[in-house]
Amino acid sequence: MLTKSPRRNHLPSTGTQRQRSTGPIVLGSLVLGILVALVGVAVARALSGSPTPAARTPAAPPANPPAASAPAVAPAGTAPSAPPGPAATAAPGTVQALPDGPLHLPAATGNIAGVPVGYPHTTSGAISAAYHFTQALASTLSPDRAAAIAHIVADPSYTGATEEAAATVAGTRQRLHLPTQVPSTETAFFTGTPTDYMRQADPAADDVDVLLLVRINSYSPSAGNDVSVQAVDTPMHWNGTDWRLMTPHAIDQATRSRLSVDPDSAAATSLGWRKVSA
């Protein structure tokens, strides 16, 4: 388990510096991280630091690249709660013994503004929430959409999460040489997909530290293609009805770089990364 250091306000960001790129492109702090720089201002976030390139050749951009997500209006006030009655696979509040092999995550039982919510009050439920929240935050190039997602997934104690998420994506757009505003004809994309998790020691029923390995794919007409991986810290807290993202722990760059390895490598297995699927 990573030693916790004083917390800083940052989401899994979508814009950290990349070590390999087909253009002058950088990934800032999930939005992320990944969500987050998966995703700058937010580079020190959960996806801050220099991502390690994945050991594979970036795929060519699709013939019709997906447009950036349209902004969603977040509910006013505190982050909304998940619908009641999630289908748990273990007793509520269970600290589960996780498998040595791949972990199949329990599905969400609800949806708020396109964000999957509603996870069982179990260790695997916390990991599933971390997986889906990171994927959502690390897969948009719309600052407004990122802020809306952060409003939904962040615990109230994670102050400034929405502003940080928007600033993170704005920084990512700048590094991808994209205009500040998202045009309806946007052909660029930025996606972060968690592939592995690392089991952290001594999880509690209501607090589970989850470390994710996120594969990041990005493309813009001027910056080209890039594929990289990033270790993302996503501590989760049970708020009484669902899991919520807490302020990620500060992880020094040396540790983050050491953990940001190709998900399909022997190094990933030796470090303790385990496959995860939703």
pLDDT at res. 16: 43
Residue 132 CB contacts under 8 Å (≥ 6 apart), including other chains: 108, 115, 116, 278
- C-alpha angle with apex 46: 44 to 51, nearest 5 degrees? 80
pTM recorded for the entire structure: 0.72
pLDDT at res. 151: 98
What residues does each domain of the chain span?
1-55+95-278
H/E element, 197: strand 189-198
Rg (CA), the chain: 17
CA 273 – CA 212 distance, rounded (Å): 8
pLDDT at res. 11: 57
pLDDT at res. 196: 98
Nearest CA to 32 out of 198, 230, 270 is that of 230
- The segments of the chain whose pLDDT lies below 50 read 1-9, 13-89
H/E element, 208: strand 207-220
> pLDDT averaged over the chain?
76
End-to-end CA distance of the chain: 23
